[in-house]
Each structure stands twice: as C-alpha cells, then as structure tokens.
Amino acid sequence: MRYLVRDRLLGFGDDYWIEDEHGEKAFLVDGKALRLRDTFELKDADGRVLIDIREKMLALRDTLLIERDGEALASIRRKRLSLLRNHYRVTLVDGTELDVSGKILDREFAIEYDGELLAVVSRRWLHLRDTYGVDVVREDADHALLITVAVCVILLAEREGEED
C-alpha cells in the first residue's frame, strides 16, 4: 500500500492529510505546536488518535517518543556510532529495533527489521511536487507506525541539517 505525504507541510503546528494510493484520506497529522514541547498526533480518517508523537526533553540527541493509547510504543533517534548521518534507529518498547537508512533529506530511504524490508520512502514514483510516497511492503506491518517513523526521521534529519 502506498501513501502520499505532502512534504512542504511537514512540521509541528501543521495539520495535513496523508492520502492512500487511490487519493482517499487515510491519516491526519494534527500538529500541537502551542504546548511546552512539540507534539503531534496521527489520526485515522474518522478522527481517532492512532499515535501520539512528542519530543523527548533533556536528551543529548534529538529523540522523538511515540505512544499509542497513552502507552510508550517506540523512540526514534539518529544511530550512535554511525559514520553516515542518514542512519536512524527506532527502538520499540519490547526491544525490537527498526533500522532506517538512505538519503533521508532526499526522501529516498528504507525502513527495515532484521534485514527485512518493511517500507520504502521515495519521491521517484511521483510527479507531484513537494510530495513523497511511503510504500508499505508488508501488508501485515503496522502502517500507522511506519508512516510515523518516516515523518519523524525526516523531521529529525531536517533539524540536524539546520544545526550544521
């Protein structure tokens, strides 16, 4: 299943729809910038909150925390000791780790678990300006989580780019 994300709207405080490959509204990213820390929610088409994302305060490296139903689900940060700046690690609360690598700022990267491809993020398939696709390869994968990972990794990479 492929989803379309409007790139130019990425950021805390912005609300925007993510559409499926048929042009139907699939997820709403609801920004919450007027809080003490940056947060946003991923909602389904009916407005139900699927995932909460918030910035971890007082962390040495930028870290985003993902919660589902008020329970911690995962954390995302740039992989430590990586020679490449384009390598991120998603650590689920059960200890499972997802690897995200590729050209993050170019929107050309993969999300993998233990060497198995879960999703591909790319602009190559699209002719729409300022849009990238999230192609979830495994149908049994958590689509909302993978879309959240893609959005968060891009946000973290853009922040790092601003600091350089």
Span 69-124, pLDDT tens digits = 999 999 998 876 555 557 899 999 999 999 999 999 889 999 999 999 999 999 88
Distance CA 93, CA 25 (A): 29
* Average predicted confidence (pLDDT) for the chain: 83
- Rounded to two decimals, the pTM is 0.85
What mean pLDDT is predicted for residues 45-65? 82
Q: So what's the pLDDT on residue 76?
A: 93
Tens-place pLDDT, residues 119-144: 999 988 666 667 888 999 988 999 99
Distance CA 23, CA 19 (A): 5
Burial of 3 (0-12, 13-18, 19+ CB in 10 A): buried
What confidence tier does 155 reach under pLDDT thresholds 50, 70, 90? confident
Residue 151 corresponds to which tokens in the numbers above? 């959005």
